[in-house]
Structure 1
Amino acid sequence: MTISTIKEQNSAYSMTRVTTTLRLRDILRTLPREVFEKNRRKAWTVVLVNILMVGLGYGGLAIAPWFCLPLLWIFTGTALTGFFVIGHDCGHRSFANRRWVNNLVGHLAFLPLLYPFHSWRILHNHHHTHTNKLGEDNAWQPFTIEYYASHPIVVKLFYQLTRGRLWWIGSMFHWALLHFNWGNFQGKQRSQVKFSALLVIGFAAVAFPLLFATVGVWGVIKFWLLPWVVYHFWMSTFTIVHHTAPDIPFTPEPEWNEAEAQLFGSVHCDYPRWIEFLCHDINVHIPHHISSAIPSYNLRLAHRILKENWGDELRECRFSWSLMKQITDQCHLYSQQECYQSFKDYRKAMAGGK
């Protein structure tokens, strides 16, 4: 199913929800208490399975012939993405009841990915608070036409790359540019972010010399760099699909409705089952935006219940290269009238205005 199909399915409802006021608490009341319940056995089973899968991937990389390496890089990088999902639950405090357990497991899960836990947690929670709010959301928010036009060519080219066929590098830039600068945070958050960033830097300062000394340059590429690139491919892909479709608006604050943004601005995407297994159902995304307190192992149950109430009004699709082509061909610049304007249409409009 492509986004055009989703648009057809939702067009009728999009006309009616303009005149209705939906409240988030009304949606939450439709979900049973059990979807919010943390299960210690399930949570730690997820951790154990993830460690085993990552170990299996690295074991395969150590002994497999060269022609098997690409498949093993994909497998290992996808399994590493599972570590991120565990840390993701910790950041939302949906892994354990005790804050120190969430912080400890979150930092440990993020360390192999070189991701500072607290900076990600704070910025990601900001995304949940301001989902699809123009000027506030920090997850794949499109440039407005005026903002794009006001920037030099270098910035435009960079933006075009991450909104086009190189969308999969977007997560790398997000990681590098936003998560190590604790000066962008205030008060207690600044000290938390500084701790997480220095922990990652210290870990890298020890780990990389050891890797170079033991496995050499090719070993670092083979065992760390390429699985890490695959991890960022999935991070970029998952997150751009979560809230991007030709008819999903980024709404100015005066018009923004929290419930509509979370329920109808989030996309459920089905990936191959092995990806869903390794990444712990992170792409069952709509209930996660209704409440980030729902643990990952309860997301499918919550989604089924939301479907009973809203059915075809929810946005659902299946991952495919045609889906990514549609997003990267159309969803470029924010247009108040049409949600998105492509770079191609923007250039035509600029040429026509001269």
Structure 2
Amino acid sequence: MQLKTVLAQATDVNLTDSKIKLPFTLQEVKAAIPPHCFEPSLWRSLSYFFLDIGIIAGLYAIAYNLDSWFFFPLFWLMQGTMFWALFVVGHDCGHGSFSKSKWVNNLIGHLCHIPILVPYHGWRISHRTHHANTGNIDTDESWYPVSESKYNNMSWPEKIGRFYIVLLAYPFYLFKRSPNREGSHFMPESPLFRPNEKWDVLTSSALWMLMVGCLGWLTYQFGWVFLVKYYLVPYIIFVIWLDLVTFLHHTEPDIPWYRGDDWYFLKGALSSIDRDYGFINSIHHDIGTHVAHHIFLNMPHYHLKTATEAIKPILGKYYRQSSEPIWKSFINSYLNCHFVSDAGSPVYYQSDWKKPS
């Protein structure tokens, strides 16, 4: 059943009415979860980090020794997927759910993210903004909808970048944030950051540039073909994974978006959906188990499944899960999610292709 219908039935009010309240509180949801789910285990977290690093190193060793163009397509797919898995470990670090130690989180976060050209602190802070404002049209940071008037005034290059090459958007987003948002993930003067975060941002930016320099040196020593074979193509696969998964977390025609005082944290956090990636679930550390993660962002990824089963009875019809094939979900959202109405709350995605002529 679509969430629009659920909201109408559960509240017995018109969906255009503002300030619809959920029939449960954040405290009630948290109380349903076993307390151990909120406790990170440093050794367990490190095991995922070293497992990913080991697999990545092993794949490089096999590819280098075989040096076969018959093997490289498989290597690119596997290595790009492992880059994405490593990003997810760094994602736990950014939320403070990798360990209880801030310096450990920052160290491992940089070791995960810098090799795949993600400025750890810049990303961590913008991702914090996303989690604090999920489902809020005006203040969300990641894959939020644009209004119809904004959409109509966007240039074609901007529309192409935002709506038609969505699986390659992330590197550009690092330098130029999404529509209506200014700033870069590399500059401490960006509106993303607080003044006291200056040195965090500069540290990650400097390490990012050092990684770019290392790639440049490798290219100088071994040539462009070497860079393409061993880094560039896996990096592109990683970017596709990152954009695909983050896009599908919050982009679907019946996910509600809120404005003004109609929004509050728990209500916005439920503007997400759990998705099944099949055998990839365990490889990318169950990142598709996303609803519980948005409610309790400091929960380690390896406890999310347990937490999800615990909160399902509380959330009831407000819990959203899709077992639809990922490719089908992506096509559906790609074709039907372009903009939302200029006014009202909640609002839902509409398609430019279905606008009356």
**Structure 1 letter corresponding to 2:294:** H
1:70-92 Cα deviation digits (max 9, x unpaired): 22111101111111111111111
Q: Is the 8 A contact 1:267 1:317 kept in 2?
A: yes
Structure 1 position 109 matched with structure 2 position 112? yes
Correspondent of 1:302 among 304, 307, 323: 307
- Give the secondary structure class of the aligned counterpart of 1:42: helix
* Unmatched tracts of structure 2, length 5 or more: 12-19, 177-183
> SS of 2:310's equivalent?
helix
Q: Percent identity?
A: 28
Q: CA–CA distance in 1 between the matches of 2:24 and 2:172?
A: 35
Q: Which residue of 1 aligns with 2:254?
A: 247
The one of 56, 59, 84 equivalent to 2:87 is 84
Pairs aligned (count): 335
Higher share of residues assigned helix: 1
CA RMSD after TM alignment: 2.0
Q: What residue is the counterpart of 1:51 in the other structure? A: 53
Q: Which residue of 2 aligns with 1:25?
A: 27
Amino acid at match of 1:179: H
Counterpart in the other structure of 1:98? 101
Structure 1: any 5+ residue segments left out of the alignment?
1-5
Which residue identity does 1:326 align to in structure 2? N
Residue type of the alignment partner of 1:169: L
Specify the code of the residue in structure 1 equivalent to 2:6: A
Cα deviation per residue 1:167-220 (whole Å; 9 max; x = unaligned)?
201222222323223220331112211221111102221x12331144321110
Q: How far is 1:297 from its partner?
A: 1.0
Take 1:317 and 1:182, find their aligned partners in 2: how far apart are those partners?
A: 39
When residues 219 and 133 of structure 1 are mapped into structure 2, their CA distance, relative to the original with a 3 A threshold, is same
In the superposition, relative to structure 1, how do residues 187 and 338 fare at CA in structure 2: closer, same or farther (>3 Å)? closer
Q: 1:19 to 1:114 in 2, by over 3 A?
A: closer
Partner of 2:43: 41
Alignment of 1:171-320 (within 5 A): 171-177=170-176, 178-184=184-190, 185-205=193-213, 207-262=214-269, 264-273=270-279, 275-311=280-316, 313-318=318-323, 319-320=325-326
- Specify the alignment match of 2:350 in structure 1: 341
1:326 equivalenced with 2:332 (yes/no)? yes
From 32, 46, 63, the equivalent of 1:61 is: 63
2:128 matched to which residue of 1? 125
- Paired residue for 2:152? 149
Any idea what SS the aligned residue of 2:340 has?
strand
Verify the 8 A CA contact 2:276 2:326 in the aligned structure 1: no
Q: Matches of 1:253 and 1:73 in 2, distance apart?
A: 45
Change (3 A) 1:157 1:237: closer
- Rounded to whole Å, the distance in 2 between the matches of 1:304 and 1:64 is 46
User: CA offset at residue 13 of structure 1?
Assistant: 4.7
- On the 8 A contact 2:24/2:314 being kept in 1, the answer is no
- Structure 1, residues 302-337: CA drift from partner, whole Å, max 9, x if none? 111122433554211134211111000001111357
User: 2:22 touches 2:267 (CA, 8 Å); kept in 1?
Assistant: no
The AA in structure 1 aligned to 2:308 is H
What letter is aligned with 1:56? G
Distance (whole Å) between structure 2 residues aligned to residue 153 and residue 328 of structure 1: 17
